Amino acid sequence: MAKKIGILTSGGDAPGMNAVIRAVTRSAIRKGFQVMGIKRGYNGLINGDMIELNQRSVSDIIQRGGTMLYTARCKEFRYEPGLQKAKQTCIDNGIEGIVAIGGDGSFRGAADLSARGIPCVGIPGTIDNDIDCTEYTIGYDTAMNTAVELVDKLRDTAQSHDRCSVVEVMGRNAGYIALNTGIACGATYIITNEMPYSIDDLIAKINDCLKTGKHHFIVIVSEGIGGSEEIAKEIEKRTSIESRATILGHVQRGGSPTVRDRVAASEMGYYAVELLSKGIGNRVIGMKDNKVIDVDIQEALKMRKPFDEDLFKLAHEISF
Ligand code: ADP
């Protein structure tokens, strides 16, 4: 049984990462482990930049966005010498297991280190929900709620001025934030990578709505599609509606995590320590039917998550 474990946050930050750090630290201490907080993702593992965490070090962080351990991308860790340095840091510091919170890239790193004898468990932390082995990723709910709050504000001004607001939301190449934000904000049109769309169809829909007395519009565009300025210009050119584009950007990554993120973070963190305490590594934690599960990392990286096409169709059915 491992007696000392490390925890790190890697890749893009997400609200709820701190809640995971807290859950992992406290669960591990309960089991009699020492916990090392490794700074700036895999960089800290290569450079030996870490601090010991006790139950008080993780006080007053459950409600905070960002990550107290900082996060980063680390090129060196992708190659053998970097991996060997990281392994040596673990050996030198008596670290017998790692919890890595991040996305697919971070899990590839976790698999590589597991293969070199340091068991690693990945926890999905990304606002984009673009990790295929899990229905839910830490930060997703908070990001959607932030996006909804901001789009609601844009709607107030779009309504007052009879405008169309074209809003670009995050999600990398995945349209999950766009779809759910679009439904929750009553968007007239949602554009994502997963589903076919056409500007002609969008223009026709706006023109039809204008005939029924609708004067303001919300169009949600996912980050993977981009080009929201051009879409707004096209709407303005081909309808009588003035249009403005807004790219919400990194504001969606910050803020205090929602209940859902805090609870999921706590459950996943606890579960990850359960695995490491049994010496099990090379696993990713996931959520299936609202239950915490674990999956082999290589299997996890091969999975493909379906897009909810029915929900997408529903969104367009009820917005006109
Ligand atoms: P995310 O974890 O959010 O997907 P990245 O793809 O940037 O973010 O990956 C985060 C870090 O994980 C990288 O900076 C690198 O240190 C490590 N990593 C990514 N891909 C690999 C890989 N193929 N092998 C080893 N480490 C990797």
57-115 pLDDT tens trace: 999 999 999 999 999 999 999 999 999 999 999 999 999 999 999 999 999 999 999 99
Residue range 114-119: average pLDDT? 98
Judged by phi (left if over 0) then psi (alpha if -120 to 50, else beta), residue 216 lies in beta
Query: Which residues are catalytic, by number?
Result: 128
Whether pTM exceeds 0.85: yes
DSSP-assigned states of every residue in 22-50: HHHHHHHHHTT-EEEEESTTHHHHHHT-E
**Which CATH code, of 3.40.50.460, 3.60.20.10, 3.10.420.10, 3.20.20.70, is assigned to 141-254?**
3.40.50.460
Residue range 42-51: average pLDDT? 98
| Closest C-alpha residue for ligand 1 atom 12 | 106
- Grade residue 1 by pLDDT with cuts at 50, 70 and 90: very low
Contact 262, 20 (CB under 8 A): no
Which tokens sit at 87? 């392994």
Give 208's Cβ-side CA count (13 Å radius). Answer: 10
Measured from the CB, is residue 141 less than 6 Å from ligand 1?
no
pLDDT at 267: 98
What is the 246 CA–ligand 1 centroid distance (Å)?
30
Q: Is the pLDDT of residue 293 over 70?
A: yes
pLDDT at 147: 98
Alpha carbon of 167 to those of 24, 98, 176, 186, 311: distances in Å? 37, 39, 15, 13, 20
Give residue limits of the domains in the chain. 4-139+257-302, 141-254
Domains 4-139+257-302 and 141-254 share a fold: yes
Measured from the CB, is residue 172 less than 6 Å from ligand 1?
no
Alpha carbon of 288 to those of 42, 123, 183: distances in Å? 28, 14, 23
Measured from the CB, is residue 42 less than 6 Å from ligand 1?
yes
Distance CA 114, CA 83 (A): 10
What is the 58 CA–ligand 1 centroid distance (Å)?
25
Ligand 1 atom closest to the CA of 43, numbered from 1:
16
| Closest C-alpha residue for ligand 1 atom 23 | 108
Strand 242-247 versus strand 4-9 pairing type: unpaired
| Closest C-alpha residue for ligand 1 atom 8 | 11
Measured from the CB, is residue 126 less than 6 Å from ligand 1?
yes
Name the CATH topology of 4-139+257-302: Rossmann fold (3.40.50)
| Closest C-alpha residue for ligand 1 atom 14 | 73
pLDDT tens digits, one per residue of 18-36 = 999 999 999 999 999 999 9
Distance CA 179, CA 148 (A): 11
Measured from the CB, is residue 187 less than 6 Å from ligand 1?
no
Q: Is the pLDDT of residue 131 over 60?
A: yes
